[in-house]
Amino acid sequence: MLNIAITAGGTSEHIDGVRRLTNISTGLLGWYCLETILDYFCAEKRSDFHVTYLFTETAFRKALDKEQLPFVDFVPVTDAESVYHAVDALTKSVPV
């Protein structure tokens, strides 16, 4: 089984109650990576892979084909700490 993790989109860090620093990444590269991986493995008729897609609310996304959905887990994240915890949990739960 091949386990793949992709992160996409810009995180946002709160400075105080009214201000925050934001990475304006669109997540487009992450989405293109996901599409390419799914297209490749599905064209090869392979089912021995799984993708964990960590994304922010501003990350580019569009609908996937329904036959591709079982191969992807979508994990929403917001800031660097949530990305850290999501990746930490992922690496402890699947072989790397």
For 20-42, how does the pLDDT look when each residue is reduced to its tens digit (9 = 90+)? 999 999 999 999 999 999 999 99
DSSP 55-86: E-TTS---PPPTTTGGGEEEEE--SHHHHHHH
**Integer-rounded Cα radius of gyration of the chain:** 15
Q: Which two tokens stand for residue 66?
A: 């329904």
* Predicted structure pTM score: 0.91
pLDDT digits (tens, 9 = 90+) for 66-90: 999 999 999 999 999 999 999 999 9
Answer yes or no: are the C-beta atoms of 63 and 85 closer than 8 Å.
Answer: no
Q: The domain 2-93: what is its CATH number?
A: 3.40.50.10300
Residue whose C-alpha is closest to residue 12's, from 77, 87, 71, 94: 77
Query: What residues does each domain of the chain span?
Result: 2-93
